[in-house]
Each structure stands twice: as structure tokens, then as C-alpha cells.
Amino acid sequence: MSRPKNQNYKGHGLSKGKEREQRASIRFKTTLMNTLMDVLRNRPGWVEVKDEGEWDFYWCDVSWLRENFDHTYMDEHVRISHFRNHYELTRKNYMVKNLKRFRKQLEREAGKLEAAKCDFFPKTFEMPCEYHLFVEEFRKNPGITWIMKPVARSQGKGIFLFRRLKDIMDWRKGNAGKKLTSLEAQPARSTANPSGSHDARSSDDQKEDIPVENYVAQRYIENPYLIGGRKFDLRVYVLVMSYIPLRAWLYRDGFARFSNTRFTLSSIDDQYVHLTNVAVQKTSPDYHPKKGCKWMLQRFRQYLASKHGPEAVETLFSDMDNIFIRSLQSVQKVIISDKHCFELYGYDILIDQDLKPWLLEVNASPSLTASSQEDYELKTCLLEDTLHVVDMEARLTGREKRVGGFDLMWNDGPVSREEGPPDLSGMGNFVTNTHLGGHLSSSSPALAPSHG
Ligand SMILES: Nc1ncnc2c1ncn2[C@@H]1O[C@H](COP(=O)(O)OP(=O)(O)O)[C@@H](O)[C@H]1O
Ligand SMILES: [Mg+2]
């Protein structure tokens, strides 16, 4: 399916180091009906294309990508919202496989200390193929809690916790359906994917056909940091514009998603206690649509600073930067870096009682549906700023370190907060240009292009 040359594309020559062309209008397409559609429709100069019409910008879903990307011809200026094999990072088993490989490589090349900086994901085994390794590990630590998660689903679907090997044996014999219903999951359809094992990861917005057997068994973090006795995890947004060289932006805003029910380890079957997904929590009888179950990151940061002091918070947030960057580096050489592609990832981070952040998963299609007015505003700004960075309008110089709420975190190396070379502190840790949970209107130079 190749497309004829774009008729609507006029050369005018704006400067961005090289000659840039200015478009009379930008034709966009999307399959998502949520805040994204509002942002795209309100963007000056952008026009919606329906059906088979030609487009310059497509915010597609991952299933479209899998079926069409390989046969779609794209002009130089065209942009699309996923990398071809995004699932290397966004599918739970591949993410762990890539991180384990990267850790080994670091150990070989830079030593144990450097490799230890990748110790931010809980011990994980792919099931059923690593079942025997898992059993070995399980027997070493009797009594601890494990979590089973389907590799390619989202919104807490299909997840269950267990402590006895018997539970997993039942599951292995094909009794997964029983467990799934206990956590209100919809049974997965066991349709094989035509593209083999490397199929795409489902998103917060849609489900995909996946074999029921594909799970990860992961060590359950039994000591989550609690606020008001309740568990939460963080949703943080990272925008990758290129893998080679790695160029990634971190969004200042995000949120903590709380459980409605007080945390306890005595009822491991209660999803309202253990799964912080909004999709799960909003079905809880205690859920108040007005109150919701979210805190913006700024509020969370202030809370922690008042409890533990600013230094502890700085350390926590720089440990999170480490997670974003190392996880991207772990797939840098695996992801097909294509200049037409960008990706807005939603990171799920859990913090434990020692203020250590853990990476739970990375989402290719973080939910863009708003659960409250505040959430609507966050997502609208996030998407507007994403489009500013993608820069279809060719307004940026390419030297910006900040665009709206996005800070350039990595540009083929750490980006310094100040002018000059990057700060390198301590044992090769980097201090990079990030302001997670910082104010959007902070005093650092905002290079946000006007919305007009
Ligand atoms: N290893 C873990 N330890 C503690 N809680 C976890 C762990 N893994 C997942 N969770 C909880 O389950 C939720 C869903 O898990 P996640 O890996 O994000 O899968 P999904 O794709 O269904 O969102 C998380 O938001 C978190 O609340
Ligand atoms: Mg999740």
C-alpha cells in the first residue's frame, strides 16, 4: 500500500540547520476518540482525514501498525505514533529479557557496580518457558508473594497473586480461567498471532488476541510505600523521538494512582487492595467519581519532601531518571529506529518503603481517557506538548532543552540542566535535565512555542 506523493506539501524553507518545508495544512488521522481527538481537532492548521485519505500525521493504534506499517510508504515529513517493534519495551516479557541482557552486557563491559544500576525491576520469569527456573527461585524463598501477569494485556486484566506452588501448577494445567475470573478478568482468547511470538503489546485502549499461556511470574513488592494506608503507583510519561541516537524527553506532570482499600498482605485475592489500575479501582464500591483516585505528581513530591526532606526526594527522583534512561538503553539497539516514528510511553513505577522505585511495566498506549477535570487538563497539555516536540510545523530550532512540560532528558548522552557540559556526579551517575513533579511554570527557561 504505497501512497502517491503528497500534493499538499509546499516547500518554503524555514531554518532548522537544514532547509525545512512548511505545510499549508497538516492532515492528521487517528483511531482514538478521547482527549487526543480534542487536541488534534483544536490544533491550528491541522485537518482531519477520514478513511483512506492521505495523512501527514497518524496517531495509530498498535494493531494498525502491525498490519500496515511494513507496506506503507511514508514521505520524509510524515510522522507516526509508534516504533515498529515497540513491544520490545512494552511487552512485559520482552522488557525483562532486554533488561537482563543489558545488565549482563554492562557487567562484562563496566563491572558489577555499573550493572547493579539495572536492579530496578522485580525478579521476573517468563511462563511457561522459564517455569523450572522459577520453581528453583520459588523454593529458595518460601512464603513470599508472587504476581502473575499476562505479558500483553493491560488495565490489570488477567493478573493474580499467589504464594503456593500448587496455584501455579493448576494454572499450568490450563486452569487459568478459574483464577482469571477471581480477579474479574476476561478470559483471554487463545488465538495464535500470525506474526509469531513477536506480536504487539495491547494498550490501555484496546485488547488484543493473545495466547492464555503467556505470562510473567514476578516477585510481588510486599512493602509498597503507603499514603493513608493505601498503595499507589506512579504514571510517568516519556517521549522518545529517536533511538539512534537516543533522544528522549521527560514530562514534568504525571500522577500517583491510589487503591481505594487499605493495604494488607492477608487477602491476596482482593484486586482492589493490590492493583492500582484506574480501570480496576473505578469498579470498586468505595470509588467516588468526584474524588477519583489520583494525585498529581507535584502534590506527591511535596508530600514526600515534607515527610523525608528534599534530599531523599532528589535521590528518589534521580533513581527514577536512571530507570527511564537505562530501560531505553536496554532496547536502543533492538528497536528499529525510524525517523518517521515517535512514541509517548507511560511508565508504571512502584515505590517501596525504602523509597526505592521499581519498574513494573512500560505502556505503548498509555490511557488518554480522562477520569476527572484535572486529569483532562493534564492529558490535554501532555498531548499538546507532545505535538510541539514532534514539531510537524517545523517551529523548533532543534536546540531546545525544554518544550512546554517536556524536558530533554537524554540527547545521545545526559543533558545538563545548565548551559555547558553535562554534570557527572559520584560513581558515574548522571544529573540530567529533568524536573519530574516540578512546576510547569518554573523559573527555568520555557521554550514552549505559543499554542497559536
Ligand atoms: N511486582 C509487583 N509488585 C507489586 N505490585 C504490582 C507488581 N506488578 C504489578 N503490580 C500492581 O498491579 C498493577 C498492574 O500491573 P502492571 O504490570 O502495570 O500490568 P497492567 O498491564 O495490567 O497494568 C500495577 O499498577 C500495580 O499496582
Ligand atoms: Mg500497568
Q: What is the mean pLDDT of residues 394-422?
A: 89
Residue 189 has pLDDT above 60, yes or no: no
Q: At 169, phi and psi to the nearest 5?
A: -65, -40
* pTM of this structure: 0.86
pLDDT, one tens digit per residue, over 128-138 is 899 999 999 99
Determine the distance separating the centroid of ligand 1 and the alpha carbon of 360, expressed in angstroms: 6
Residue 1 has pLDDT above 60, yes or no: no
- Spatial strand order of the sheet with 46-48 comes to 46-48, 26-30, 57-59, 79-80
Convert 256-274 into a string of H (helix), E (strand) and C (coil): EEECCCCCCCCCCCCHHHH
With a Cβ cut-off of 6 Å, ligand 1 is lined by 122, 147, 149, 153-157, 159, 218, 220-221, 233, 275-277, 348, 350, 360-361
Residue type, position 369, single letter: T
Which pLDDT score is estimated for 293?
Answer: 86
Closest CA to 150 of 79, 67, 92, 235: 92
pLDDT grade, residue 10 (50/70/90)? very low
Q: What is the mean pLDDT of residues 326-330?
A: 98
pLDDT, one tens digit per residue, over 45-98 is 999 998 888 999 999 999 999 999 999 999 999 999 999 999 999 999 999 999
Determine the distance separating the centroid of ligand 2 and the alpha carbon of 434, expressed in angstroms: 23
Please report which ligand is nearest the Cα atom of 150: 1
Residue 374 has pLDDT above 50, yes or no: yes
Closest CA to 43 of 31, 57, 60: 57
| Atom 14, ligand 1: residue with shortest CA distance | 156
pLDDT, one tens digit per residue, over 272-318 is 999 999 999 989 887 877 666 899 999 999 999 999 999 999 999 99
The backbone region for 233, taken as left when phi is positive above 0, alpha when psi lies in -120 to 50, beta otherwise, is beta
Determine the distance separating the centroid of ligand 1 and the alpha carbon of 160, expressed in angstroms: 10
Residue 433 has pLDDT above 60, yes or no: yes
- How far is Cα 210 from Cα 350, in angstroms, rounded to an integer? 26
| Atom 21, ligand 1: residue with shortest CA distance | 154
Which pLDDT score is estimated for 76?
Answer: 94
Determine the distance separating the centroid of ligand 1 and the alpha carbon of 221, expressed in angstroms: 10
The pairing of strands 160-162 and 247-258 is unpaired
- How far is Cα 275 from Cα 363, in angstroms, rounded to an integer? 16
Determine the distance separating the centroid of ligand 1 and the alpha carbon of 294, expressed in angstroms: 16
Residue 174 DSSP code: I
- How far is Cα 355 from Cα 312, in angstroms, rounded to an integer? 8
Q: Which secondary structure element, helix H or strand E, spans residue 16, and what is its range? A: strand 14-16
- How far is Cα 90 from Cα 356, in angstroms, rounded to an integer? 22
Residue 452 has pLDDT above 60, yes or no: no
Distances (CA, A) of 331 to 2, 99, 130, 169: 29, 8, 21, 33
For the chain, percent of residues with pLDDT exceeding 90: 69
Count H helices, E strands: the chain? 13, 19
In ligand 1, which atom is closest to the CA atom of 159? 22
Specify the 3-state DSSP secondary structure of 191: coil
Determine the distance separating the centroid of ligand 2 and the alpha carbon of 442, expressed in angstroms: 30
In ligand 1, which atom is closest to the CA atom of 361? 17
Burial 206-232 (b: 16+ CB within 10 A, else e): ebbebbbbbbbbbbbbeebbeeeebbb
Q: At what angle do helices 310-331 and 92-110 cross, to 10 degrees?
A: 100
What lies within 8 Å, CB to CB, of 105 at 6+ separation is none
pLDDT grade, residue 21 (50/70/90)? low
Q: Which secondary structure element, helix H or strand E, spans residue 241, and what is its range? A: strand 232-242
Residue 408 has pLDDT above 90, yes or no: yes
Q: In the numeric block, which cell numbers belong to residue 420?
A: 555547558
From 149, 227, 269, the mutation candidate for ligand 1 (largest count of ligand atoms within 8 A of CB) is 149
| Atom 15, ligand 1: residue with shortest CA distance | 156
In degrees, rounded to 5, the angle at the alpha carbon of residue 329 between the alpha carbons of residues 325 and 335 is 125
Write down the mean pLDDT value for the chain. 84
pLDDT grade, residue 420 (50/70/90)? low
